[in-house]
Amino acid sequence: MSSFNPLTSILNQNKLESPNYVDWKRNLDIVLTAGGFKFVLVEEFPVKSDEPTNDEIKAYDKWVKADEMARCYILASMANVLQHQHQSMTTAYDMLVSLKEMFGVQNRTAKHTSMKAFLTTKMVKETLVREYVLDAVIDKESQVEIVLQTLSDSFLQFRLNYNMNKMDLSLGKLLNELQAAVSIIKQ
């Protein structure tokens, strides 16, 4: 696998097994993007007309070759039992849909355990807000809310403004806003 793309060592070191789906998928996206194959996961299979033009033939051939490479990367980066279950699927997209159904949603117990662990902690006053926010490993829907609720009391005004203004920020944007607030709080 390493002769295709030097980034494949990422996939070799992180083969797909049930608990690491999210990390594996992120690494797969990196490898497929670097190889120029990720488009097969979002673009529909090109259909050739009865009398295809050269452009249609090129688009078709490009898609088929990229899908074949994506399928190889996917199969090579998963446990043997998963390979056997997915090797007969016709497209990389079909494989990923199946894998997402199997592993994409964190099971309720694991999610509850990680949420409970995070919610029982509180940001220590001396901790940099950047470190605190980036340590929050939670599903995207809950990240911002949990980070806001567990900030130290020095961010009380920030939380109030956030809720009163009905802000809706990604974790990255929240981090930027919190860092700006830190400089204001220090003044």
69-84 pLDDT per residue, tens: 999 999 999 999 999 9
Identify the pLDDT of residue 147. 83
Identify the pLDDT of residue 95. 94
Q: Is the pLDDT of residue 167 over 80?
A: yes
User: How far is Cα of residue 113 from the mean position of the Cα atoms in its chain?
Assistant: 20
Residue with tokens 């699927």: 89
Cα(168)–Cα(171) distance, integer angstroms: 10
Mean pLDDT of 157-173: 85
Identify the pLDDT of residue 64. 94
* Closest C-alpha to 176, from 138, 133, 121, 146: 133
pTM of the model: 0.56
* Closest C-alpha to 157, from 182, 130, 176, 134: 182
Structure token digits, residue 160: 């109030």
Residue 92 CB neighbours (<10 A): 25
Confidence of residue 20 (pLDDT cuts 50, 70, 90): confident
- What 3-state class would DSSP assign to 56? helix
Identify the pLDDT of residue 33. 92
Q: What stretch of H or E contains 123?
A: none
DSSP string of 71-116, one letter each residue? HHHHHHTB-HHHHHHHTT-SSHHHHHHHHIIIIISPPHHHHHHHHH
What does the pLDDT look like over 36-57, one tens digit per residue? 999 999 888 888 788 999 999 9
User: How far is Cα of residue 47 from the mean position of the Cα atoms in its chain?
Assistant: 30
- The residue ranges of DSSP E strands in the chain, in sequence order, are none
Identify the pLDDT of residue 112. 57
What does the pLDDT look like over 67-124, one tens digit per residue? 999 999 999 999 999 999 999 999 999 999 999 888 865 544 555 566 677 677 777 8
Q: How far is CA 164 from CA 41, 59, 158, 174, in A?
A: 40, 51, 10, 15
Structure token digits, residue 74: 């996917």
Residues 6+ away with beta carbon under 8 Å from 154: 125, 185
Structure token digits, residue 10: 């990422």
Q: Is the pLDDT of residue 2 over 50?
A: no
Q: Is the pLDDT of residue 65 over 70?
A: yes
Residue 16, phi then psi, degrees to nearest 5 = -70, 125
